[in-house]
Amino acid sequence: MTAKNSLAAALKTVRKARGLSQEAFSDVSSRTYLSSLERNLKSPTLNKLAELCEVMEIHPLTLLTLAYAGESTHQADQLLAQVRQEMEAIQHLLDAK
């Protein structure tokens, strides 16, 4: 499963886990648009993703981690460790300039 397909599933999973209806997103999105995201017919922009996550009261990285790692906390730990290492490597390169 690709991350794009997983993002649709992650969005629906978090929305349902939070007990939110598609209508709960009406301030940031139409029900039709949210439905098309959850059915993987459209892909959100980063700004739209942030707005949706605000409604669900989670950080966008949480949703992306769920999309990439699924519900496996072990895979999530590995992914977040990789992100930390990559951020440190980028910071090291910036500091060297």
Domain spanning 3-96, CATH class:
mainly alpha
What is the tens place of the pLDDT at every residue in 34-86? 999 999 999 999 999 999 999 999 999 999 999 999 888 999 999 999 999 99
Annotated domain spans of the chain? 3-96
Phi-psi region of 43 (alpha: psi -120 to 50; beta: other; left: phi over 0): beta
Please answer whether residues 22 and 31 qualify as being in contact, where contact means their C-beta atoms are separated by less than 8 angstroms: yes
Instruction: Enumerate residues 6+ apart whose C-beta is below 8 A from 55.
Output: 20, 24, 25, 27, 28
pLDDT digits (tens, 9 = 90+) for 77-87: 999 999 999 99
Measured CA to CA, the distance from residue 42 to residue 29 in angstroms comes to 13
pTM of the model: 0.86
Q: Do 6 and 63 contact (CB within 8 A), yes or no?
A: no
Separation CA 75–CA 28 (nearest Å): 31
pLDDT for residue 70 = 87
